[in-house]
Amino acid sequence: MGIRLHNILRAKNILRQSASESVDVPKGYLAVYVGEAQKKRFLVPISYLNQPMFQDLLRKAEEEFGFSHPMGGLTIPCSEDIFINLTSRLNRL
């Protein structure tokens, strides 16, 4: 539990920094770049950070890319279809 909370807090701090650098991200959202070859930008609610499915996706992103992205958001290494499927399920919760 402590490690999981630490990872969430660390991700929130990094997201807060990257969101503040990008003026076109509304308050309460974060920018993520999704895709395998070509990246597409999505804005997702910060509330997703509390969802276990999204946390798993962030862990995989951290392993592959770290939490830093030169464009001011996170890079998530999955196809757009998988990301859209996951976020649509989170919207129903």
How many other C-beta atoms can be found within 10 angstroms of the C-beta atom of residue 78?
16
How many whole angstroms separate alpha carbon 74 and alpha carbon 52?
Answer: 17
pLDDT digits (tens, 9 = 90+) for 19-32: 445 558 899 998 88
Number of domains present in the structure of the chain: 1
pTM: 0.65
Domain of 20 in residue numbering reads as 2-92
Residue by residue, DSSP assigns the chain as -HHHHHHHHHHHHHHHHHHHH-TTS-TTEEEEEE-SSS-EEEEEEGGGGG-HHHHHHHHHHHHHH-S--TTSSEEE-S-HHHHHHHHHHHHH-
How many whole angstroms separate alpha carbon 29 and alpha carbon 48?
Answer: 9
pLDDT digits (tens, 9 = 90+) for 63-77: 877 766 666 667 887
